[in-house]
Every structure is written in C-alpha cells, then in structure tokens.
A and B are shown apart, each in its own frame.
Chain A
Amino acid sequence: MQTTAEIAAQISAEFSLLENWEEKYDYLIEKGQNLPDMPDDLKSDEHLVKGCQSSVWFVTECREGRLYFQTDSDSLIVKGLAALLQELLNGQPAEAYQNVDLSLFDTLGFWRHLSSQRSNGLTAMVSFLKSAAEDCAAHHGA
C-alpha cells in the first residue's frame, strides 16, 4: 500500500495540470460526485462532524490497526475535500492519521477550507478522523 506522502504527491501532480479556479473546483466537485452516497440511516448525529457550515458525516471502521471510512456531505465541495481525505488516508495505519500532512490542501489552493474558523471543514474533519484513529490504535494495541 502507498504511503500518504506518495498519495499526496500524486494528487498534487494531478492538480498541477489544472489552470484556474474553475478547473480546480470542477475537479474537486467531480471527486465528490464520484463518491457513493451514504445511506440516510448512517447520517446520524454520531457520525456528523460538528463545527462546519455544511453537514459532513464519517462512518469509520477499525480493522487490524487500520482505519477505514466512508464519508458524505450535503455540500459537493466539502464532499470533494472529504474524498481527497479518503484517497489520502482510507485504510492507512492509525498512526498515519496522527501525522497526516495537510499542506497538500495548501498547495492545491484550498487553504480557505483550512483556515477560516466558522467553516473549517478540513480541520474539523481531520480532528474527527484523528480521534477515531486514536481509538483504533488503542483498541488494536490492547
């Protein structure tokens, strides 16, 4: 399995071909649209990430110290960002979540989703996943 750093480099390379904002968002939206929709009964408060302007859900599963997740959002942009997180992290060992380097999103130009507090989609999403990864590591270690 590729490391998160290798995957991040691939995503960066794909994005470097995109020339303007419209193309970048088009690409991101396509990433979101390609994710399967989550069944409505999984879109519960327990799986909802708090602190975002839009709703985003993660359903995580820990298997042999690796964390897997499915995700969905009512916002296609947020869903696209969540899809990138999935490409980057899905099935990685729990420790990889703790050390994930988010500078990828900065490089892509989606820094605004990292920095603004009211709609800090990415920061909130990553904290949610880190917390699940921590539980996963603790469970596996025990």
Chain B
Amino acid sequence: MSISIPAARADFPILSTRVNDHPLVYLDNAATTQKPQAVIDSLRDYYTFVNSNVHRGGHTLAVRATDMYEAAREKVARFINAAHAHEVIFTRGTTESINLVATSFGEAFIQPGDEIIVSELEHHSNYVPWFELCQRKGARFRVLPLTPTGELDPEVLQSMFTEKTRLLALNQVSNSLGTVNPLETLIPLAHAAGVPVLVDAAQSVQHLAARDVQALDADFYAFSGHKMYAPMGIGVLYAKESWLEKLPPFLYGGEMIDQVSSTRVTFAQLPYKFEAGTPNVEGAVGLGAAVDYLNRFDQLELQAYEEDLLAYGIEQLRAIPGLTLYGNPRHRSSILPFNVEGIQHYDMGILLDTSGVAVRTGQHCTQPIMDALSISGTVRASLALYNNREDIDALTRGIRRVMKMLRR
C-alpha cells in the first residue's frame, strides 16, 4: 500500500523546472507546498467533466459535483479522524477558519472582563483575530510567553487559567521556529480548567501523524489546503459538533439557510450553516485528491523521513561558522530558521535565489517571536515530503557562496 518516499519527488512536476539557470531547490514549503500530478489532474478533470454548482439542481453534473464535494469532506474527516463529516467546514484557509471561530464564538460567549489566552509562538492569523475580539468585547488578551528554547511551558500556562478564561488558541507547530507543542499535555490542562482549545494546525497537519482530532480532544482544529499539497483558497475548520450547534453563523446568504420569509429565517443543518454562498468546489476536490495522495504513504514512515531530513539539515547548518539556528525545542518539525552573522536575512534570501534555492526571509507574520528573540527577521528553510539531502546540501553550498560574496 505505502510507496517509497524518495520516489515521490517525481510526482511533483514543478520540481524539475529550472530557476535562474539552476535546478529549483524548493525550501519554502511552510509558505506553500508544491502540488503532485494527482492534484493537478483532479482540477483539470473536475473542469473537463464535472463542473456545476453544488447542492441545487437535479441535473446529472450538479449531482456529480455535489457528490465529489461531499466525498472530499468525508476524506478530510477520515484524515483527521473527525467523529462526523459534518464537523468539517470548508473555508478559504486557516486564517478564515480562525476568524470564523473568533467571530462566532466571540459573538456567543465572550463578555467584558473575560480572558482569552494565545501563545507568543502564534502566527499573526492566530493572534490578531483574538486581539481584535478582545478589543471589541472589552475582554482581556493574555499571551503565554515562549521559553528561551522557543517552547511553551505547561506550568506557566496552568498558572494563567482563571475562572474568566474562555479560550486557549495555539498552534501545533510554530511556522517560525518549528516547535512542536505538546498538545497531549496542554489540551488536557485547558480542559481541566474548563477552557476549550483552538489549534492552528496549518504547519502540522501535513507533517505529523498526530492529527487525530478525537485523540487530541481539540475543540477547534484549523488548517489550509495549500500547505498540504492541495490548491490555494481551500481550508478546513474542524469543530466538535457540540460547538458548531452552539455557534451562530459566520456569514449569511445562500446555501446556509433552511427557510426564509420577511418575518423569520432559519438556518440549514451542519455543516451548511457555516458555508454561505457557492463554495470552492474545485478546491475541495483538489484537497480530497491531496488527502488521497498523502494516504498512499505510511504516515509514521513519512513523519520519520521528514524528521530525519530535518535532523540532517540542523547538523549541516550548525557546521557553518557564524550561523545561528533559532529555537532549540525538544521536538521540532520541518522548519529551519537561521541567520548568518553580518548578513541581512533579505540579502541571504535574494542571493540564494540566484542559485535556484527558494527560501523565505523576514518576520514570517510572527512579530511577537521576533521581538522575543530581539531580531529583525530570519531566513527560513522549510521542508516537505519531496525534499532530500541534496536539497539541504544545495542550501548549505548556497549559504557558503553568499558568505563569500558578502564578506571581503
């Protein structure tokens, strides 16, 4: 059933292109991943043979499109082991998923004086929606600080819970440092204090086998398609049925209603209550294809392959004199954040690109982390299943070449 991981590179046509006269070395996977042929084909086939609007019209193509859309929901539900497919809401991405909860949960449950806790490790998309909600509601925004190793301390979290705490929002993997947060410890602590937990899984769902939302007991679990080999513009909010029943809709319009008159509007059942308007059917179909693709691998083997490659990357980067690798968490996933002494991260990124190596530079939408580390930004190399040791070697060769160019 499972296929060889190194052979998977051939499934991604873009990886054989050349950039600036060099073979592409794509190490910007935390920003977005490339797409396997199976996902590309699913989009072409959808528009060639199926395209129609969903959930309306009894004609053949409409039924086919609806079946494919709902099949994608089922695939995602099984991928994260949701108890019900209707606990999977399709959104535009992680950001919209989190904003949906911030708006709907905030509307229903946040009062002046209440408290929301986020971690200092968060991407702005899991920080700003909560900050703004607190501003709107007169609630207190509290930040769980990161430790010197770039981790979260369960004891500090424990000490922050009060009877006013209404929600904890944190990621499973930090997009800036790659820290894997111990959800198996943190979520039970929150639940013991009566606090529900929203997990930003944008950087974890494609890398960690620990994506079983029931085992994690996550109340909300948000992720994006495009970071897990699916198209852009499709994402997922998983929420426990009990929460979805209690939350008011996020957007209003077609698809999400049951009955409408001038005196009364009733809303559709789950999940449609949260999917107003024509959905991104193409994106959902592509996401379903990406899940099918990932399911071809043994998930623990895939995680072990990526972790071995990351360990190799850490070792190779640490061997470069003057290079600082940020964070030193016990468990890290897929992210290599660094700077080289005397070289601005932007210069490093631009000059690596001239040898075909694609990385990201800057603050990575995590200004609080950069402030905590007292730096203006980092170079970030981030891995996916198709990367290999040759990619890491091309990166380290590129870094040494840039060091030569800039130091004279």
Measured CB to CB, the residues of A under 8 A from B are 20-22, 25-26, 29, 53-55, 74-78, 112, 118-119
How many residues of chain B have a CB within 8 Å of chain A?
A: 15
CB distance from B71 to the nearest CB of A (A): 37
In the complex, the 5 A-B pairs of residues with the closest C-beta atoms, listed nearest first: A21-B354, A75-B344, A54-B346, A75-B346, A53-B346
Partner of A77, one of B20, B346, B376, B377: B346
**Given A29-B405, A118-B362, 13 new contacts (CB under 8 A):** A21-B21, A25-B350, A53-B346, A54-B347, A74-B376, A75-B344, A75-B346, A76-B344, A76-B347, A77-B346, A77-B347, A77-B350, A78-B346
Alpha-carbon distance between A21 and B376 when the two chains are bound, in angstroms:
26
Interface positions, chain B 330-349, Cβ under 8 Å from A, are 344-347
B199 on the A face (CB < 8 A) = no
Neighbouring A residues of B377 by C-beta, 8 Å: 53
Q: Is the CB of B354 within 8 A of A22?
A: yes
The answer to whether B203 has its CB under 8 Å from any CB of chain A is no
Interchain CB contact (< 8 A) of A54 among B21, B344, B351, B406: B344
Which A residues are CB-close (under 8 A) to B387?
Answer: none
Q: Within the assembled complex, what's the spacing in Å between the Cα atoms of A103 and B130?
A: 44
A2 → chain B closest CB, angstroms: 30
Q: Which residues of B contact A (CB under 8 A)?
A: 20-21, 344-347, 350-351, 354, 361-362, 376-377, 405-406
Assess whether B362 is in contact with A53, with CB atoms less than 8 Å apart.
Answer: yes
Given A53-B377, A55-B376, A118-B362, verify A25-B346 contact (CB < 8 Å).
Answer: no
Chain A positions within 8 Å of B344 at CB level: 54, 74-77
> Contacts of A77 on B, CB cut-off 8 Å?
344, 346-347, 350-351
Q: Is the CB of A22 within 8 A of B346?
A: no
Question: Which residues on B sit within 8 Å (CB–CB) of A22?
Answer: 354, 405
Q: What's the Cα separation between A42 and B346 when bound, in Å?
A: 22
With contacts A53-B346, A119-B346 known, is A25 near B362, CB below 8 A? Answer: no
Task: List, in ascending order, chain A residues with CB within 8 A of B347's CB.
Answer: 54, 75-77
B354→A53 contact, CB < 8 A = no
Query: Closest residue of chain A to B342, judged by CB?
Result: A76
Could you write out 17 A-B pairs with CB less than 8 Å apart?
A21-B20, A22-B354, A25-B351, A25-B354, A29-B405, A53-B346, A53-B362, A54-B346, A54-B347, A74-B376, A75-B347, A76-B347, A77-B346, A77-B347, A77-B350, A118-B362, A119-B362
A130 CB, min distance to chain B CBs, angstroms: 23
- Nearest-neighbor residue (CB-CB) of A80 within chain B: B347
Among B344, B361, B362, B376, chain A packs the most CB atoms within 10 A around the CB of B344
Residues of B contacting A20 in the complex (Cβ-Cβ under 8 angstroms):
21
CA separation between A29 and B408, bound complex, in Å? 11
State the CA gap A114–B374 with chains docked (Å). 29
Query: How far is it, in angstroms, between the C-alpha of A104 and the C-alpha of B58 when the chains are bound?
Result: 59
* Residue of B whose beta carbon sits closest to that of A52: B346
B residues less than 8 Å from A75 (CB atoms): 344, 346-347
In Å, the complex CA distance between A26 and B405 comes to 7
Report B-chain residues with C-beta under 8 Å of the C-beta of A54. Answer: 344, 346-347, 376
State the CA gap A142–B305 with chains docked (Å). 70
Task: Give the distance in Å from the alpha carbon of A21 to the alpha carbon of B377 in the complex.
Answer: 25
A25 to B354, CA, bound (A): 9
Closest chain-B Cβ to A71's Cβ sits at a distance in Å of 15
Please name all residues of chain B whose beta carbon is closer than 8 Å to the beta carbon of A29 when the two chains form the complex: 405-406
B406 surroundings in chain A (CB, below 8 A) = 29, 76
> Which residue of chain B has the shortest Cβ distance to A33 in the bound complex?
B408
> Nearest chain B CB to A104's CB is how many angstroms away?
18
Contact partners of A119 in chain B: CB under 8 A: 346, 362
How many angstroms from the CA of A140 to the CA of B110 in the assembled complex?
58
Measured CB to CB, the closest approach of chain A to B123, in angstroms, equals 15
A22 to chain B minimum Cβ distance, whole angstroms, is 6
The smallest C-beta distance from A23 to any residue of chain B, in angstroms, reads: 10
Closest B residue to A26 using CB positions: B405
Complex interface: chain B residues within 8 A of A21 (CB): 20-21, 354
Q: Which residue of B lies closest to A22 (CB)?
A: B354
In the bound complex, CA of A119 to CA of B350 (Å): 11
Q: How far is the CA of A29 from the CA of B348 in the complex (A)?
A: 12
> How far does the alpha carbon of A54 sit from the alpha carbon of B406 in the complex, in Å?
16
Contact, CB under 8 Å: B405 / A25: yes
B405, A53: Cβ atoms closer than 8 Å? no
| A residues near B346, Cβ cutoff 8 Å | 53-54, 75, 77-78, 119
B405 CB contacts on chain A under 8 angstroms: 22, 25-26, 29
Which of chain A's residues has its CB closest to B344's CB? A75
A48 to B: closest C-beta gap in Å: 12
Q: Measured between C-beta atoms, what is the minimum distance from A55 to chain B in Å?
A: 7
Contacts of B361 in A (CB 8 A): 53
